[in-house]
Amino acid sequence: MTDSQVGGVAAKTPGKKERLVAAACELVYRQGAARTTLADIAQEAEVPVGNVYYYFKTKDDIMAAVVQARARQIESALEMLERRHRSPTTRLKGLVRLLAEQADSIAQYGCPHGTLCLELAKQATGPDPVAAPLMQIPLGWAERQFRAMGRRDAHDLAVELLVSYQGSAVLTGALGQPELMARQTQRLEKWIEALCT
């Protein structure tokens, strides 16, 4: 059997590029983009440092790959909520719960998407920060859910939801108190429920 075949189907071992991107995602989350070097990423991925340059010519290239990987994670989570929940209300509440499940890591490192967006926005030279999709994807999704609930103010409500979550993530991280995220989750669920009445 090759590639650790399971049940007649080969389980694909991640290649060097995939391992480098996964390592970069983890390191950038734990220590920030500015402090993460290509050598750090190579070591974490167990790939010779010279191989990094085969896949990524610059650190900006690997940061773009990190943003793309994070965007795919967000899209995958939102697709899962679409499959799991039938109504827009339960989807929105599911999103809030999904975010709250990360409370311990948020207390230690901050929101994986929000902190990356802020850090890369500071480095951006133009009006279109590379990490903007990390906020645009959930914002657009939440707006569609509120619109499906019949809300004419769907965009404003989506903004309020993301602002509430990101604000609680900042406080949770700054104070190192995951219970803040749990309380905010309960408040947001009640807020979403109240919008249905």
Tokens encoding 157? 């409500």
Q: Are residues 101 and 177 in the same domain?
A: yes
Would you say 96 and 138 are in contact if contact means Cβ atoms under 8 Å apart?
Answer: no
Q: Are residues 72 and 52 in the same domain?
A: no
| pLDDT tens figures, 31-64 | 999 899 999 999 999 999 888 889 998 888 999 9
Q: Look at residue 6 in the predicted model and tell me its pLDDT.
A: 44
Q: Are residues 47 and 124 in the same domain?
A: no
Q: Are residues 120 and 75 in the same domain?
A: yes
| pLDDT tens figures, 152-170 | 999 999 999 999 999 999 9
User: Residue 3 domain-assigned?
Assistant: no
**pLDDT of residue 89 exceeding 90:** yes
Q: Are residues 27 and 101 in the same domain?
A: no
Residue 168 CA: distances (Å) to CA of 13, 20, 22, 109, 184 = 37, 31, 26, 13, 7
pTM, two decimal places: 0.85
- Please report, for the chain, how many H helices and E strands are present, in that order: 10, 2
Q: Are residues 110 and 53 in the same domain?
A: no
User: Residue 79 domain-assigned?
Assistant: yes
Would you say 102 and 114 are in contact if contact means Cβ atoms under 8 Å apart?
Answer: no
**What's the rounded Cα separation, in Å, for the pair 124 and 133?**
14
Angle at 165 between CA 164 and CA 170, to 5 degrees: 100
Would you say 171 and 187 are in contact if contact means Cβ atoms under 8 Å apart?
Answer: no
Q: Look at residue 131 in the predicted model and tell me its pLDDT.
A: 83
CATH number at residue 101: 1.10.357.10
User: Residue 113 domain-assigned?
Assistant: yes
Q: Are residues 92 and 53 in the same domain?
A: no
Q: How many domains does the chain have?
A: 2
**What's the rounded Cα separation, in Å, for the pair 185 and 10?**
40
Residue 95 CA: distances (Å) to CA of 85, 100, 167, 197 = 10, 9, 16, 20
Q: Are residues 76 and 110 in the same domain?
A: yes
Q: Are residues 77 and 121 in the same domain?
A: yes
Amino acid at 157: L
Query: Bridge partners of 5?
Result: 10
User: Residue 1 domain-assigned?
Assistant: no
